[in-house]
Amino acid sequence: LTDKPLRQVLAQPNTSGRLVKWFVELGEYDVKFEARPVIKSQVLADFVGDNTLTKCMEEEERGLWRLSVDGSSCISGSGAGFMLTSLDGWTLEYAQRFGFKAMNNEAE
């Protein structure tokens, strides 16, 4: 299955000498063109509709975490800090230094 110009070669062999040559070359191999099947947009819409959760997922209080993020940039580089805090008081902290140039000026 293809959507390349092969169909044009097989359908209109007298367009140019090069196309005639390819038509003759491919003719001995019994090559036939089949159009690629098209997925209709309604099929995709039906699939999404059938596979989407309908009832709202309820949040459990004990499973909630709060994420705090802070970023910085200076001449020597840039990075960000992350802190996850649970309702039980557990805290996870992580600092990341970026390997690319970044700035904290939204106007730029």
User: Across the chain, what does the average pLDDT equal?
Assistant: 72
For residues 13 and 78, give the distance between their C-alpha atoms in angstroms, rounded to a whole number.
Answer: 62
The answer to whether the beta carbons of residues 1 and 36 sit under 8 Å apart is: yes
pLDDT band at 87 (very low <50, low <70, confident <90, very high): confident
The answer to whether the beta carbons of residues 27 and 20 sit under 8 Å apart is: no
Q: Which amino acid is at 92?
A: L
- pLDDT at residue 7 greater than cutoff 60: yes
- pLDDT at residue 33 in the model: 57
pLDDT band at 91 (very low <50, low <70, confident <90, very high): very high
pTM of the entire predicted model: 0.35
For residues 61 and 86, give the distance between their C-alpha atoms in angstroms, rounded to a whole number.
Answer: 10
Instruction: Read off the pLDDT of residues 35-82 as tens digits, 9 standing for 90 and up.
Output: 566 667 777 788 887 877 666 555 555 578 888 888 777 777 788 888
Other C-beta atoms within 10 Å of 44: how many? Answer: 10
For residues 80 and 100, give the distance between their C-alpha atoms in angstroms, rounded to a whole number.
Answer: 12
